[in-house]
């Protein structure tokens, strides 16, 4: 690779990472905060929460990566154009491929990286996250309850304890159960414990108050009472896997006895083609970026900033691809659109690059932009005159 190509590639990679890491950190933070209840509701340690947060990170990379690449290419080439570096490259007789070749190779490499991520790494991380959350909630009552605090276990079920003892022992239990509309139950007990299976709460020396819809209250004292948690623990602790949690090989040959496949077979078809086609985004977005800012241009031209134009084009392709995915879930025949959208966008950009032509805004849009720029300059000139 030539020295100039290495110089361009190095600058683009640096800008790409500069754009990727902050955006990835912001999105990752919002995703992690949505799962903060793993600590607050299930009593898990901070270490477990950080492990969960680490496993979420790889599931976001493939989505953010193509847009960070657009920012890296457009910002680097625009800066080089403003510093007249692209004009110098043209004046020196270097071919346009000197600029394009390293960036196209970068786009191809990131497309392969994205394919590996969405096909194997992301599904494995998703399964680990779901398994971890399910395990945290499996032994529900022994991990959720806190001392002297009412905790909502599910809709209509609240628990409070006065003291948690070593092991699985509890003191001063109060359970309010209004899940059954036909009756409201309130349990009091001096002592209690959750059995080893986590499916039964054994209460000792207490009473049960049952309130009927008519308002009548029945009180029953007990020496020992078993409160069933099996349905609740199984529901909260069950790992439910869908099409997004399957590896690429499992999507190619799904298990016909899989309940999730039986419920929504269209999801498997759409997810398979979505993963393969989304790996085309980096190379397609690279071609779009090169088409918009891959050559020297005058500063006097009225046009949008290349980064804005490239991001608008990239977002349009991404949204069209997402809409095509939803159509494919309903009818597998729309799967061809998932490949056609990025290929068409990249193909049109390649045609512009091969013919050395620029995409132009419609005449009315160019006039509006020119008028806006002229108006802004007049106002700035008037403001400067007033300040003087």
What would the pLDDT profile of 203-252 be if each residue is shown by its tens digit?
Answer: 888 898 888 888 788 888 888 888 776 655 554 545 567 778 788 888 88
pLDDT tens, 86-114?
777 777 777 777 888 899 999 999 999 99
Contact residues for 252 (Cβ-Cβ < 8 A; gap 6+): 272
Answer yes or no: is pLDDT of 168 > 60: yes
Task: Round to whole Å and give the CA distance between 382 and 388.
Answer: 10
Answer yes or no: is pLDDT of 302 > 50: no
* Whether the predicted model's global pTM rises above the 0.85 cut: no
pLDDT at residue number 44: 58
Rg (CA), the chain: 30
326 phi, psi to nearest 5 deg: -65, -35
pLDDT tens, 246-274?
888 888 888 888 777 888 888 888 888 99
| CB neighbours of residue 40 within 10 Å | 12
> How far is the CA of 265 from the CAs of 126, 241, 258, 262, 361, in angstroms?
19, 13, 10, 6, 43
């Amino acid at each position: 690779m030539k020295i100039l190509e290495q110089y361009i590639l190095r600058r683009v990679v640096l800008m790409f990472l500069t754009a990727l890491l902050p955006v990835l950190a912001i999105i990752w933070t919002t995703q992690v905060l949505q799962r903060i209840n793993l600590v607050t509701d299930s009593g898990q340690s901070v270490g477990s929460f950080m492990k969960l947060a680490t496993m979420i990170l790889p599931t976001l990379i493939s989505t953010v990566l193509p847009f960070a690449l657009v920012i890296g290419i457009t910002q680097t080439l625009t800066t080089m154009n403003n510093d007249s570096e692209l004009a110098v490259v043209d004046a020196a007789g270097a071919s346009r491929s000197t600029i394009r070749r390293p960036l196209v190779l970068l786009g191809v490499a990131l497309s392969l990286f994205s394919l590996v991520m969405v096909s194997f790494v992301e599904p494995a991380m998703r399964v680990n996250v779901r398994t971890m959350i399910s395990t945290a909630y499996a032994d529900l009552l022994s991990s959720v309850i806190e001392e002297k605090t009412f905790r909502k276990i599910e809709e209509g079920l609240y628990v409070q304890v006065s003291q948690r003892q070593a092991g699985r022992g509890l003191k001063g239990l109060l359970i309010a159960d209004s899940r059954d509309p036909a009756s409201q139950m309130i349990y009091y007990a001096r002592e209690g414990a959750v059995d080893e299976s986590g499916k039964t709460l054994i209460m000792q020396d207490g009473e049960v108050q049952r309130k009927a819809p008519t308002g009548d209250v029945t009180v029953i004292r007990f020496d020992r009472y078993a409160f069933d948690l099996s349905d609740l623990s199984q529901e909260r602790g069950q790992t439910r896997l869908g099409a997004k949690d399957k590896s690429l090989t499992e999507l190619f040959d799904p298990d016909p006895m899989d309940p999730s496949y039986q419920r929504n077979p269209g999801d498997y078809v759409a997810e398979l083609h979505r993963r393969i086609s989304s790996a085309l985004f980096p190379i397609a977005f690279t071609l779009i970026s090169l088409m918009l800012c891959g050559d020297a241009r005058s500063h006097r031209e009225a046009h949008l900033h290349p980064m804005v134009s490239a991001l608008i084009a990239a977002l349009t392709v991404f949204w069209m691809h997402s809409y095509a995915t939803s159509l494919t879930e309903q009818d597998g025949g729309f799967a061809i659109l998932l490949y056609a959208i990025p290929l068409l966008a990249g193909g049109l950009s390649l045609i512009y690059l091969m013919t050395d032509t620029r995409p132009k805004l419609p005449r009315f849009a160019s006039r509006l932009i020119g008028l806006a720029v002229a108006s802004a300059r007049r106002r700035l000139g008037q403001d400067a005159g007033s300040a003087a």
